[in-house]
Structure 1
Amino acid sequence: MRILLIEDDALIGDGIKAGLIKLGFSVDWFTEGKTGLQALDAAPYDAVVLDLSLPGLDGLDILREWRKRGHQEPVLILTARDALEQRVSGLQQGADDYLCKPFALAEVAARLQALIRRSHGQVTPALRHGDVCFDPASRSVTLRKQPLILKPRELALLELFLLNAGRVLPRALIEEKLYNWDEEVSSNAVEVHIHHLRRKLGNSFIRTVHGVGYILGDGA
């Protein structure tokens, strides 16, 4: 899942980005308010981690503008502003969750996973399709109740399809979801990852919709 991070503190921002990437997220990090404001228009993010005290434009002003533009991406606010009225104000402006500094990275990840899951209409923590079960928290997969080893990018791709069951995903969208702006992407990267998933889960697990993209197929 692709995350937009807007945080001006270099130490905090670097720690969040590195930690979330290790946990299977793709992360784009911005340190300035006005640049961060425009970033949400540029890529299909699954969630946002937003600081409030930013140079150039305050986080709450960014949030208000996003909601005015119709952006519905879930937003997790990270801030040192821990007064009750400030937390309430953030939620009333359109934030979906609120976490005060200092915080644990594990909690940031867990809250993001919950926000993304709910934004896709998923109630239970585990994602299932046929005999495949994916646990986002542990990044583990079972096939017919037996552990299945997938590489990090394969896990991210599986999660993307499970969260979008019944939806055709264009190749370009898949690529944007799996990779951030810092990464170089080979022209056939998506096809290679899909090939590997099919080999491990069955050829019919992901179907090709010719001229359009890919869709989750029959359960393994």
Structure 2
Amino acid sequence: MDTPPNGGETGMKVLLMEDDLAQGDALSMALRQIDVRTVWVRRLKEARALLQAEPLDALLLDLGMQDGEGMVLWRELRERRSRLPVIVLAARDRVEGRLPSTDIGASDCLLKPFTMAELLARLRAATRRKGARASDCWDIGELCIDTGAHQVTLAGGDVPLSPSEYALLLELAREGGRVVARDLLLARLQCGSDNALEVHVHNLRRKLGCGWVRTQRGVGYLLPIS
């Protein structure tokens, strides 16, 4: 796990949920070195208490905790319609079957191993989205994604999407114009194969029109925001 040189000045405060002693210690230390104030807990009970007691900018959530599954807390936050950005930290071989493909919402998933530069970029993007999206509607030009109603409109007209197409659109929209790697989309959406992902991309392009879903050859896809 690397630390970017002179990477401070974020001023963020995050709650880190990680039950592994070595990983938790290394990650919390690295985060503090880039000026991310970090509270590290190993139990769901401790996390719940801190979430009620302290203002936080983001939650870094490991899937497995000492006293239960991290996803239980994640779902509790979703049910309360919490706007706290949640970044799930997961080993690639543990993602399949654990993240609901149509209920990712505004949360993120970072696959291990990752670099501190990548985590910091995700944290910054997540906190920007938190400030920019004060409602359930994400407006990207003429495109509006209502995450509360799971509805999409373009220039005021309804765009009917399948659950898989909607989940794909969310994944692209939440990255704010950045390219999302094919492997990451496959893991998050549980498409099963490259061919299935290409079908979803094709259908989304057909329904939104030209220019909305762009291909970065050999890397992945992006949704332009300007």
- Residue aligning to 1:66: 77
Superposed CA RMSD? 2.2
TM-score, with structure 2 as normaliser: 0.49
Partner amino acid, structure 2, of 1:15 = A
Deviation for aligned residue 1:88 = 4.0
- Give the direction of change, closer, same or farther, for the CA distance of 1:33–1:84 in structure 2 (3 Å limit): closer
Where does 1:124-163 land on structure 2 (aligned, <5 Å)? Answer: none
Within the candidate set 39, 46, 50, 2:57 is matched to: 46
8 Å Cα contact 1:81/1:87 also seen in 2 = no
8 Å Cα contact 1:64/1:94 also seen in 2 = no
**In the alignment, is residue 35 of structure 1 matched against residue 40 of structure 2?**
no
Runs of 4+ in 1 over 6 A off after TM superposition: none
8 Å Cα contact 1:4/1:48 also seen in 2 = yes
SS of corresponding position for 2:65: coil
- Residue aligning to 1:19: 30
Percent identity over the alignment? 39
SS of corresponding position for 1:3: strand
Where does 1:82-161 land on structure 2 (aligned, <5 Å)? Answer: 82=93, 85-86=96-97, 88-89=99-100, 92=103, 94=105, 96-121=107-132
Question: Which structure has more RCO (C-alpha within 8 Å, separation ≥ 6)?
Answer: 1
TM-score, with structure 1 as normaliser: 0.50
Deviation for aligned residue 1:93 = 5.7
Cα deviations by residue, 1:2-35 (Å, 9 ceiling, x for unpaired): 1010001111111111111111111111011222
Question: What CA distance in whole angstroms lies between the structure 1 residues aligned with 2:33 and 2:102?
Answer: 29
Question: What CA distance in whole angstroms lies between the structure 1 residues aligned with 2:44 and 2:99?
Answer: 21
Tell me the matched-pair count.
122
8 Å Cα contact 1:8/1:55 also seen in 2 = yes
Contiguous gaps of at least 5 residues in structure 1 = 123-220
Cα deviations by residue, 1:177-218 (Å, 9 ceiling, x for unpaired): xxxxxxxxxxxxxxxxxxxxxxxxxxxxxxxxxxxxxxxxxx
- Residue aligning to 1:8: 19
- Residue aligning to 1:77: 88
SS of corresponding position for 1:38: helix
SS of corresponding position for 1:45: coil
Q: Which moved more, 1:31-40 or 1:109-118?
A: 31-40
Question: What CA distance in whole angstroms lies between the structure 2 residues aligned with 1:55 and 1:105?
Answer: 25
Deviation for aligned residue 1:81 = 5.2
- Residue aligning to 1:210: none
Deviation for aligned residue 1:69 = 2.8
SS of corresponding position for 1:86: coil
Contiguous gaps of at least 5 residues in structure 2 = 1-11, 134-226
Question: What CA distance in whole angstroms lies between the structure 2 residues aligned with 1:24 and 1:91?
Answer: 34
Question: What CA distance in whole angstroms lies between the structure 2 residues aligned with 1:116 and 1:91?
Answer: 22
